[in-house]
Amino acid sequence: MLEIKGLKAYYDEAEILRGVDINVGKGEAVAILGPNGAGKTTLLKAICGLVRCKGEITFDGRRINDLKTHERIRLGMAICPEGRRLFPNLTVEDNLLLAGDEELDTVYSLFPRLRERKKQLVKTMSGGEQQMVAIARALMRKPKLLMLDEPSTGLAPIVVEAIGSAISKIRDELRISILIVEQNIHLAFKVASRAYVLVKGEVVKEGRTSELRELEKEYFEM
């Protein structure tokens, strides 16, 4: 679904990603772990065409390096960005409709709470509900690959659990490939079958999450 080879990304002259190789298979969920400033968000931006980069990015069998962001989105990738970026003064439903209207029933079935709250202004919703709106919005164009940037940020453990269950459903029932950036290793391991650890713009470790359990200790010591 997504193949990245030798990816380097730059802000001005600063090289933030230093030759990253990452794959996400069809229907697979993959996590990117790593400390603050490692380049995780930059990686997602590079995939979306929002930063200058070198290297190869292939999506759904097609080289996309030279495509603009909107063209990449049209091919079937969606991002749920860090900090959610919703329209706080609009209702839940208006936030969703800004992204499209065909998948409304699908996302309401996935998040029944959003159907109940569809007329509520987003700014009056809890952090967990807002995260649900952000994920739902990313699904409105029926993507083949959903990228999530730290969906657990600022949420209580029980809410993180609910978000994790929703992401697992998106993978299993909607059959959408997932690339999730997370510092919450429990959430990452719950939804992803493989993970990459990114440190200072390089992949320092990768493997199946079932075999990376010992990573937990190592990761928190970084």
Contact set with ligand ATP (CB under 6 A)? 11, 16, 34, 36-42, 82
Q: Which of the stretches 5-13, 19-27, 41-49, 65-73 binds Mg ion when contact is defined by CB under 5 A?
A: 41-49
How many amino acids of this chain bind Mg ion (CB under 5 A)? 3
Q: Are 16 and 39 in contact (CB under 8 A)?
A: yes
Q: How far, in Å, CA of 118 to CA of 190, rounded?
A: 29
Name the residue number minimizing CB distance to Mg ion: 41
Residues 67-106 contacting Mg ion, CB under 5 A? 82
Nearest approach, Cβ of residue 40 and Mg ion (Å): 5
Residue with Cβ nearer ligand ATP (11 or 220): 11
Residue with Cβ nearer ligand ATP (17 or 140): 17
Q: Find the length of the chain.
A: 222
Q: Are 102 and 142 in contact (CB under 8 A)?
A: yes
Q: Report the sign of the C-alpha dihedral through residues 59, 144, 165, 182, in that order.
A: positive
Quick one: what does residue 11 bind among ligand ATP, Mg ion, none, with the CB cut-off 5 to 8 Å set by partner type? ligand ATP
Q: How far, in Å, CA of 167 to CA of 17, rounded?
A: 27
Told to check if 42 binds Mg ion by CB under 5 A, we report no
Q: How far, in Å, CA of 128 to CA of 166, rounded?
A: 12
Nearest approach, Cβ of residue 181 and Mg ion (Å): 6
Report the candidate in 28, 63, 31, 30 with the shortest Cα–Cα distance to residue 47. Answer: 63
Torsion region of 216: left, alpha or beta (phi above 0 gives left; psi -120 to 50 gives alpha):
alpha
Nearest approach, Cβ of residue 190 and ligand ATP (Å): 19
Nearest approach, Cβ of residue 138 and ligand ATP (Å): 18
Q: How far, in Å, CA of 179 to CA of 1, rounded?
A: 11
Nearest approach, Cβ of residue 141 and ligand ATP (Å): 24
Residue with Cβ nearer ligand ATP (50 or 97): 50
Positions touching Mg ion (CB under 5 A) are 40-41, 82
